[in-house]
Amino acid sequence: MTQAESEPGVLERFSAEPKTSDAITEVRPEGSNELQAAEVRVEAEANEAGDGPTQKKPLGFYLSFFAINILVFLFALDSTTLAVAIPAIAAELHGTTLESFWAGIAYFLGLVVSQPLYASISDVFGRKPPLYVAFLLFTAGSLSFSLAQNMAAIIAGRIVQGLGGGGLDVLGEIIVSDMTTLKERPLYLGIMALPIAIGSILGPTIGALFSDYVTWRWIGWIALPLLGVAFPLLAFFLRLRPLDQSLEVKFKRLDWGGMSLFAVGCTVFVLPLSWADALYPWKSYQTILPLLLGAAMLVGFVLYEAKPEAPVVPHRIFRSRTAAITLCGAFVHGMTLFTLLQYLPLFYQAVFLDSRIGAAVTLLPTSVSSVMAAIASVIAIGKGGIGYKYRIWVSWALVLLGTGLLILLKPESSSSSMRYGIPILWGAGIGALLRLLHLPMQASVPSVDDTGHAIALLLTFRCLGGLVGLAIGSTVFSSSFASAIASAGELPDSLAALRDAHNAIEFIPTLPALGLPADVIAPVLDAYLTSMRAVFCVMIGFSGLGLISSLFTEELTLQKTDRGRQHFET
């Protein structure tokens, strides 16, 4: 534990918002007496209420928690279902490789841009109003995706889904932190690991089933009945303590400048990462200029956040070494999780010529290991004297080992045990980290009322890692495939379309149907293998970074029983 985390009063002296118990002495700008009185009153009532882990919960608590599990399942499912289905979508709608990858990137762009904004807005207006907005956006995006007639509509629908999904994910996690204490939270995080892991890892299987036996459009339609169950449960049974402030005060507190800088900066920064070497060369002004502009805007956002009364990203959270390290881990975790979930199904389809269902079935053992590890990793925290720190170390070691062994897979020498077994190691590590990283992040906050910001930052960094990973993966795959196919020699007319790397993803479903001799198709399969391995190698490097950074994680106490201002009302 750092000195700042272990000495009482240090964080309070430097924090813009002191702990709840010191709220009366907080310095407020002139004219904010109404806000101060409201916050002191609500915080005092929250502390008096107390909520030990053994206290009996009302029925509304469990119904709300069930609905939140539906939301996080939908978010996780939507993050991964396209991995197997995208070749079929691209073939039907005549999408290029860049457009195919952007169907995934667009969703994560919406997530990254929206998650900190939802957390900031919910701290001012309460949790439920922005949650309703997230419901509306996710529904609209799902409809747009399901009815799309071209790749532009697919990408637009995915962006809107991401904007809604970001709210469903982050507000669901924040509301659970409102409803529980840190001491009892590992149990609920463990329970939530089940729908998250199932949605994330089984997404490719569900996408394959829809694509092969119904239509890929059901990837969007399936969300609607689930939303229809979750929405009324939360509307009628989720009772959180309201924030007693006037509408004028709420609007004044919002960090309008920070929200704008973050949203625009993220978008401008990610765009060139996705098209570098695929649409424009790395050294072109079309790539370099927006990359530098986006980076400058994000730096400006960080500097600006020292000014607002209710910032999107409070600087005080980063004063904890453990928080900073955990956010680094979340970024790398998101990068490896979502990038490999995108490319592993494509790898089995393109290199092993598996069907969509076959590729999904190959990853089923990985799904099982991920689900089991995600649940067990947090529920058993503290038992046997083993805290979260050592579990995080072991999880990262499994991720690194599993990712590294992926480069050994190839059609002519890989046994069934290797095809099924190697991804299991990666799945166990990546599944455990899904929930483990929440614990040090939430334990490191200077005040219980910063928990929402801490959760939003963790999820944002994870999704930002996924966004950057998918963008980099798109660039690495496209450039590697173009180089590999160029050196493959003369191709028959049936394979001539692959001379243009933009057709690589769209062409994958066609490969098994051609029935070409092994010696004819081998150079093409080698080109896919080389390109996929290039992506895997990048992920190996980042997995190593995740393991090294985790060694500096500290074991902070989880024995806290205080609650935030928006706790569940019985």
DSSP string, 443-489: HT-SSGGGHHHHHHHHHHHHHHHHHHHHHHHHHHHHHHHHHHHHTS-
Residue 147 confidence (pLDDT): 93
Assess contact for 267 and 162: CB atoms under 8 A. Answer: no
What's the DSSP call for residue 152?
Answer: H
Beta bridge partners of 568: 240
Q: Report how far residue 466's alpha carbon sits from residue 539's, in angstroms, rounded to the nearest whole number.
A: 11
Query: Tens-of-pLDDT digits for all 570 residues of the chain?
Result: 444 344 444 333 333 443 433 333 333 444 444 444 444 444 444 444 444 444 677 888 899 999 999 998 888 888 778 877 888 888 888 888 778 878 888 888 888 888 888 988 888 888 888 999 999 999 999 999 999 999 999 999 999 999 998 899 889 888 888 888 877 777 887 788 788 777 776 777 788 888 888 888 998 898 899 999 999 999 888 887 776 766 777 777 778 888 888 888 888 887 787 676 666 777 788 888 988 998 999 899 888 888 887 788 888 888 888 889 999 999 999 999 889 988 988 898 888 888 888 888 888 888 888 888 888 877 766 554 467 888 899 999 999 999 999 998 888 766 777 887 888 889 899 988 988 898 888 888 877 777 878 888 898 899 889 888 988 888 899 889 988 888 877 888 888 888 887 788 888 888 888 878 888 888 889 999 999 999 999 999 999 999 999 999 888 877 766 665 655 565
Q: Report how far residue 100's alpha carbon sits from residue 263's, in angstroms, rounded to the nearest whole number.
A: 23
Compute the C-alpha angle 471/475/479, nearest 5°. Answer: 170
What's the DSSP call for residue 558?
Answer: -
Q: Report how far residue 439's alpha carbon sits from residue 140's, in angstroms, rounded to the nearest whole number.
A: 34
Alpha-carbon dihedral of residues 216, 219, 221, 222, nearest 10 degrees? 130
Candidates 447, 561, 566, 559; CA nearest to 20 is 447
Helix (H, G, I), strand (E, B) or coil at 500: coil
Compute the C-alpha angle 330/331/337, nearest 5°. Answer: 80
Radius of gyration of the chain (CA): 24
Q: Report how far residue 365's alpha carbon sits from residue 356's, in angstroms, rounded to the nearest whole number.
A: 16
153-174 CB burial, b ≥16 within 10 A, e <16: ebbbbbbbbbbbbbbbbbbbbb
Q: How many other CB atoms are found less than 10 A from the CB of residue 32?
A: 18
Q: Report how far residue 547's alpha carbon sits from residue 321's, in angstroms, rounded to the nearest whole number.
A: 16
**Exposed / middle / buried, residue 314 (Cβ in 10 Å: 0-12, 13-18, 19+):** buried
Q: Report how far residue 452's alpha carbon sits from residue 441's, in angstroms, rounded to the nearest whole number.
A: 11
Assess contact for 424 and 369: CB atoms under 8 A. Answer: yes
What single-letter amino acid sits at 173?
E
Helices (DSSP H) in 21-127: which residue ranges? 33-49, 59-80, 82-93, 97-125
Assess contact for 199 and 347: CB atoms under 8 A. Answer: no
Longest dimension (CA), the chain: 80
Beta bridge partners of 227: none
Helix (H, G, I), strand (E, B) or coil at 46: helix
Assess contact for 410 and 351: CB atoms under 8 A. Answer: yes
Assess contact for 337 and 430: CB atoms under 8 A. Answer: yes
Candidates 203, 208, 217; CA nearest to 92 is 217
Q: How many other CB atoms are found less than 10 A from the CB of residue 385?
A: 6
Helix (H, G, I), strand (E, B) or coil at 495: helix
Assess contact for 74 and 81: CB atoms under 8 A. Answer: no
Residue found by looking up tokens 């053994």 in the block: 54
Assess contact for 241 and 46: CB atoms under 8 A. Answer: yes
Residue found by looking up tokens 């002296």 in the block: 13
Q: Which two tokens stand for residue 440?
A: 């040090």
Residue 568 has φ and ψ, to the nearest 5°, of: -70, 135
Q: Please report, in angstroms and rounded to a whole number, the separation of the first and last CA atoms in the chain.
A: 36
Q: Report how far residue 114's alpha carbon sits from residue 117's, in angstroms, rounded to the nearest whole number.
A: 5
Single pTM value for the model: 0.76
The helix/strand count (H/E) of the chain reads as 23, 0
What single-letter amino acid sits at 134?
A
